[in-house]
Structure 1
C-alpha cells in the first residue's frame, strides 16, 4: 500500500478540516499499483427507499419491511447497485477523484446487504498503463462480519491535471410515509375555514 493512498492516522486537525471542505484528485503520475482507499457506510431503510425512488425499482421485497420479512432474504435489503454507487463514490472523489473517466465495471453480488449492515468499501490499484493513463482497480464491499458482499473490477482513466473543488452541499432528503395529505386533512378537519387569496391562479389546482 502506498503511504499516500490513505490519510495518516496522526493527520492534523487542519488537514482533516481541509478534507471536509475540499475534494482533491490524484493525477496519474502520483498513483502506484497497491494504492488503496476505503470508506464505511451503514445501510438505513431510507437508503433503500430513496434508491428505489431514484432507480424506479420499487420491488416490495426490498422496500417493504413486512413483505421482506417473508422473503428468503428475510427483511429489507439493499438493491445490488446501491453498493456499486458506493464504489463509484470512492473512484469519483478520492482515487483518482475529480476528473476521473469511468470506462468499465464488473461486479459480483455475493451476499445481501440488510438494513443495519455496515459496509467497508475499498478500491485498490491493480494495474496502470502510462500510455493511456488507464487504471485497473479491484473493488470490494465487506459487511461488519468481514463477509465479502460485492467484489469486482473497475477500469478508469485517471486525470492528468490537478483538480481541487469545494465540497458540494447536498440537499437534505426526507421520505414521507405516503399518507401525509390524509393525516393533514384529519388534523384540520374540525378547524374553521380560512379566507385565502391565490395570486395569478392560472392552473387547474388554483382555480379549483
Structure 2
C-alpha cells in the first residue's frame, strides 16, 4: 500500500477522500479482541439485546474507526494527529453491510490544524449511519510510504463446528453408551452434550466414581441412566451389548484406554464389525480454512497397508458426505508429489488414486501422492505444475501412518489453533473418541459429527 500525505499548506476547503469497507463478523471479533469490548450484541451467535435473534451488530467505535482510516491514510494522510472527533450514530450497522466513509476538508486554522466533515453511509440504501466533525493537526512535511505492510489476522473462530452443532441439535438425541465417565472431563463432556440435545447418555462404569466426578463439578445425575460395572473391560463389553441390542446408537470414550474401549468391538462373534477396518478421523475446524478438514488415520492404524488405506479413504469419504461435502476431495499425502519407489507411501497414494478412478473407491475424488503444501494450497500446486480437482483444494487428508497423522493433527491444533472432533468409523455405530485435553467445543463437535453421520447412514 502506498500512502502519501497532504500537508497543511496543500489542504484546501472542499478537498475530499473516501474508502469503502464490507463489514464482516470476523471484523467484529477482531475488534472485540483488540478493544476488550465483549458486548454480546456484537457477536454473531449471541442474542445480546434479548429479542430472540442473534445480533452481529457492529460496535459503534468500529464504525467510527473507519473515519480514522480515511484521515490516517488519505486526507490529510500519514503524519496526521487526531485532536478531536464528534460522532453522531444515526442507525446500526450489521455484518454484511458495505459502507463508504467520506471525509471533506471544511476549514484551516493558522496554528496548523484543519477541520473535516466526516460521514459514513451504507451503500445499499445511501443511508447515513454515522456523521461528525474531526479536528486534526495536519502534517507540515510531505510524507510518502511505498512499503506499508500490516500482518494479516486470522480470527480464531470455529464457525464450522458451530454450524455442525446447530445442525445436530435439530436431529433426534443420539442414545450413546458412555464408557467409564469416571472423571470430570469425560463426564462433563457427556452431560454438556446432553444439555445441548445432541445425545442421551447412558453412563457405564463404577457408579461411585461417576457420582464423585459429578459432585466435584457440582452437577446432578438425576434423570441420567447409570449402569454399574466392575472394570473398564466390563464397561466396554456392556456398551457393545447395548449397541447389539439396539439400545444405544453410538459409543463414547470416557476415562479408559482406547485399546480397552475397542477390544470388545473387534470380537468376531459378538463385536461391532461390519466388514471394514476400524479407522479414525479427526474432523478439524482450522481458523482461516473455508471448510472442515478431515485428517485420517491418526489414532488407530499404526502402519496401514494398502487394503487398510482403502477402508481409511472410503470411511472418510462417507463421513465427509455426511458433513455436507457433496463430492469430497481426498488428498493422499506423502513426502513428495511424484511416485518414488524408495518411498512406499507415494506408491500407495498412486494406487489409491487409480483405484478411485476405476470405481474401487467411490463417492469422492482421490489424488496422490501429494505433499502437504500442494494438497492444501492452490498456489503451491500450480507452481509445481499439478493440475487436478484435488490438488490445492483437499478436504480430506490421508496420512501415510499414525505418526505422521498424529503430528499433523497436533500441529493444526497447537500451532494453527484448530479444534478437533474425533470419531472412529467402520463399526455398526459411530465411536466418539475424545482426548482428555479436548475443549468443550471439541467434545460437542464430536457428538454432533457422530449424530449427523449416524442419522444419514441410517436413512441411506
Q: TM-score range by the shorter chain?
A: 0.7 to 0.9
Aligned with residue 107 of structure 1, among 75, 87, 96 = 87
**Is the aligned partner of 1:94 residue 2:94?**
no
Equivalent pair of 2:44/2:54 in contact (CA under 8 Å): no
- Report the TM-score, using the length of structure 1 for normalisation: 0.74
Equivalent positions of 1:182-197 (< 5 A) are 188-190=298-300, 194=403
Change beyond 3 A, Cα 1:167–1:81: farther
Q: Secondary structure at the match of 1:52?
A: helix
Aligned length: 174
Equivalent positions of 1:1-208 (< 5 A) are 20=1, 22-67=2-47, 71=51, 75-129=55-109, 131-144=110-123, 145-177=125-157, 188-190=298-300, 194=403
Query: Which structure: larger Rg?
Result: 2
* Residues 130-155 of structure 1: per-residue CA shift (max 9 Å, x gap): x2111011110011211111111110
Greater relative contact order (Cα 8 A, min sep 6): structure 1 or 2?
Answer: 1
**Structure-1 separation of matches of 2:132 and 2:53:** 22
State the 1:75 CA deviation: 2.6
State the 1:178 CA deviation: 5.3
Change beyond 3 A, Cα 1:74–1:150: farther
State the 1:39 CA deviation: 1.1
Change beyond 3 A, Cα 1:162–1:48: same
State the 1:64 CA deviation: 2.9
State the 1:26 CA deviation: 0.6
**Structure-2 separation of matches of 1:69 and 1:107:** 22
**Structure-1 separation of matches of 2:126 and 2:16:** 18
Q: Which runs of 5+ in 1 are unaligned?
A: 1-19, 197-208
Please identify which structure carries the higher helix content: 2
**Structure-2 separation of matches of 1:109 and 1:66:** 22
* Residues 100-144 of structure 1: per-residue CA shift (max 9 Å, x gap): 111111111111000111111011111111x21110111100112
State the 1:74 CA deviation: 6.2
> What is the aligned-residue RMSD (CA, Å)?
2.8
**Structure-2 separation of matches of 1:72 and 1:122:** 35
- Report the TM-score, using the length of structure 2 for normalisation: 0.35
State the 1:171 CA deviation: 1.5
Equivalent pair of 1:61/1:71 in contact (CA under 8 Å): no
State the 1:34 CA deviation: 1.1
* Residues 21-68 of structure 1: per-residue CA shift (max 9 Å, x gap): x21001111111111111111101111111111111112221133425
Change beyond 3 A, Cα 1:74–1:163: same
* Residue 15 (structure 1) aligns with: none
